[in-house]
A and B are shown apart, each in its own frame.
Chain A
Amino acid sequence: MYEGAVQDLIDELGRLPGIGPKSAQRIAFHVLQASATDVKRLAAVLVDVKDKVRFCKVCGNVSSAELCRICADPRRDPAQICVVEEPKDVVAVERTREFRGRYHVLGGAISPIDGVGPDDLRIRELLARLADGTVTEVILATDPNLEGEATATYLARLVKPMGVHVTRPASGLPVGGDLEYADEVTLGRAFEGRRQIDV
């Protein structure tokens, strides 16, 4: 047990995800030894993130203005919306540089066992975005696990009657993997979605 401020810092750090008591102690002593400017910068950034970061009022992504960078960009295709679970997924899709449309962040996936139902997600906002007819394709890029699949099924049922093209990213064998380790569900999906090789 340390005195006053040091112990307070260790306690606070220990509440962060993935940081146990030993890691908290190591980080606390690192902070103690760092220069005052470094520590002040860290403190300022922590305060800033809580003060300045908001959620984009259109897509729900994290943003520093009313509209996020992607929603505000006129070069992005307004006819395509990619629906994802978390802001982290927006970054993952952006890294591919394959998608030029806009996003919609649901804020999670439907999971009845955890008490998360359709009303807890930003589904009403998505339907409102589709109402004016500019959007022609909705890509349901929820996680390829059970909750994500069920959420995609639920959304497809709502969106299809609005006359919008609904797609889901392909699932199958990971690039760089071994066929023998693929599980039956994944391998089955890969066979279902096989494509012709053009030579």
Chain B
Amino acid sequence: MGLYRDEAVVLRTCKLGEADRIVTLLTRRHGRVRAVAKGVRRTRSRFGARLEPATHVDVQLAEGRSLDVVTQVESLGPFGARLAGDYPRHTVASAMLEAAERLTAEEREPALRLFLLLVGGLKALTEGEHDPRLVLDAFLLRALSLAGYAMSLDACARCGAPGPHRAFAIAAGGLACPQCRPAGAASPSPAAVFLLRDLLTGNWPGADSTEVGTRREASGLVAAYLQWHLERGLRSLPLVERSPAPPARVLDPA
């Protein structure tokens, strides 16, 4: 049985037997890995809080027949513990973890960019500079593009005609020109499309200055787009709570 060491974010834990847990990790080099953490539920476990969801860890694993076994853990960033004291942010973190798990279809298929995106997303969420829901939508849009489902927000998603276009067709993969527009396509407000573009490209000053209504509209589009491409929605997404007062600055939809 070989030992290997990797950096990872804990995506999910579930109970196993008396005192063990199965932890799902998104690792830097080995993709999504499921491993057994023995005795982690005992109060005297030497792993303690390090294997709680949303913790960024340096972990040593022993290869097993079906599941690997966690042998040592060091914590690099206890994001989960910091977020548990803020319920809206905690729900956002849960949705990010679930999305990361669902977007890694195969175990052990390296997903370095998704790993880096997740660590960055959790860090941004903990720092609390932006509305948590914006962080979530930016994460989901970028994670989807890494998975090959990038939302087309300039050219027509079907024929490639240069934009800007008005119609938004989820099945086509983004905005659609008047010729390609399928029946029943949505017509989002220009401000919402601007916001989606800002979130996808990381233009935070632009995203932070949007109004609550625009953010809601963009979130709705992201949720519908995600659900279409994942074939079923995230279980945690309906439970994500909006912060009571999102920091909206000036409204100027250009």
Contacts and interface: CB of A to CB of B under 8 A. Distances in A.
B85 A149 contact: yes
Contacts of A177: 44
B236 A112 contact: yes
Nearest to B18: A18
B94 A183 contact: no
Interface in A150-176: 150, 153-154, 157, 174, 176
A181 interface: yes
B235 A113 contact: yes
Contact of A153 (B84, B94, B98, B235): B84
Chain A, interface SS category:
helix
A176 B236 contact: no
Interface string B75-97: 10010110011110011001101
B46 A181 contact: yes
Given A18-B17, A153-B84, A112 B46 contact: no
Nearest to A120: B239
A115 interface: yes
A112 B94 CA distance: 6
B66 interface: no
B75 A183 contact: yes
A177 B39 CA distance: 15
A113 B97 CA distance: 8
Contacts of A182: 48
A174 B75 contact: no
B47 A150 contact: no
A115 B236 contact: yes
Contact of B87 (A153, A181, A186): A153
Nearest to A17: B17
Nearest to A119: B239
Interface stretch (B50-58, B148-156, B210-218): B50-58
Nearest to B43: A174
A116 to B, nearest CB: 8
Interface in A81-121: 110-115, 117
Q: Identify which of B17, B80, B84, B98 gathers the most chain A CB atoms within 10 Å of its CB.
A: B84
B181 interface: no
A159 to B, nearest CB: 13
Interface in B6-53: 12, 17-18, 43-44, 46-50, 52-53
A183 B48 contact: yes
A186 B49 contact: yes
A67 B4 CA distance: 54
A156 to B, nearest CB: 9
B57 to A, nearest CB: 10
Given A115-B235, A181-B46, A184-B75, A146 B86 contact: no
Q: Identify which of B18, B43, B53, B85 gathers the most chain A CB atoms within 10 Å of its CB.
A: B43
Given A146-B81, A174-B43, A184-B49, 13 more contacts: A18-B18, A112-B235, A112-B240, A113-B97, A113-B236, A146-B80, A153-B87, A154-B87, A174-B44, A181-B48, A184-B78, A185-B81, A186-B49
24 contacts: A18-B17, A112-B90, A112-B94, A112-B235, A112-B236, A113-B94, A113-B97, A113-B98, A113-B236, A145-B49, A145-B52, A146-B54, A146-B90, A149-B85, A150-B87, A150-B90, A153-B84, A153-B85, A153-B86, A174-B44, A176-B44, A183-B75, A184-B50, A185-B52
Interface of B: 12, 17-18, 43-44, 46-50, 52-54, 75, 78, 80-81, 84-87, 90-91, 94-95, 97-98, 235-236, 238-240
